[in-house]
Structure 1
């Protein structure tokens, strides 16, 4: 009886989907050899994220020891390598496109720019805004001016459509944003600080998305 009680109290070790992938598993291999998860737990990193799926490590190791799994893993690794090479090539092409597409920020007077930005904001929100006159500091004015330049005065929005769904989209997005920020800083030194702030914000957002996906 004591032996049975000890066996019942034995704690299992668990492996998440990301842990399985680190061991070489693909989602197809998981479906074929493991099937549904053994249990789920709340995501420890993001409360709003889906539950984390877990498989018993002893079951995973038992499957990994079989010849059928070893052969399937070899075939999967070959497919993954071929896919990575193709994806890397497509990613490089997307990045090259982001680096070479024409991107110019037109220079108009600061007063005209502020007026256009205010009108653009009103069209989007229905709200009227009054800015402080240049060169008085006005972070809200600067933000709306940079937004206006990005969405209405450049080909930025059209270029995003070019990248949509392609490998390297996230990296291309940041490359394009960096080019835009520096173009704004060159054309409008008064807006350089705000353009760089928005660039930094985008970088942080992309990094947060990467971290979140790695935890799911």
Structure 2
């Protein structure tokens, strides 16, 4: 259990770009991006990004990102194992967040199976609960809908969606935005991790009512 307020926690926001599946080869990460959130705010100058070696394997033609332009650099990039000394402090003993955590969670667990990671916060799940009426909850679409793209672009100039660092900043800015919504200021890490639509909204509504009563 983690009863720490989310706005007081140090959270690593992580994103991987992957090759996609090309049978019989599995999907593998070719880029990682991470940013730090502290006290409810993304820290613009505290980030990590690197290409990740995947060798000469084919990429799924539908895999997003600029991997075609970077193939030579990707083939010479460090492996995830070689990056571990730099990544350890980012990933161990703190909450981790991503937009649609399935990919990130799977990669991290496969890469370092003897370590315990998390708890994991899924910004996709949270934004679906906060804005169920939106037609798309894809990260790029949500950032545009909430008018957050300019803020993200200022943090990582020259980058764009489906760059791992850009998407990590985007997920972080989205989480920062959500934590500033009415009723979200006092949510805990556990609230975010365990959030389900009915339960989460019931808790937010109750906190909002309590705040309104205190203001009377």
Tell me the TM-score normalised to structure 1 length.
Answer: 0.21
Q: Which has the higher contact order (CA 8 A, sep 6+)?
A: 2
Between Structure 1 and Structure 2, the one with more helix by share is 1
Q: Choose 1 or 2 for highest CA Rg.
A: 1
Query: Higher strand proportion, which one?
Result: 2
Q: Please, what TM-score do these two structures have when normalized by structure 2?
A: 0.21
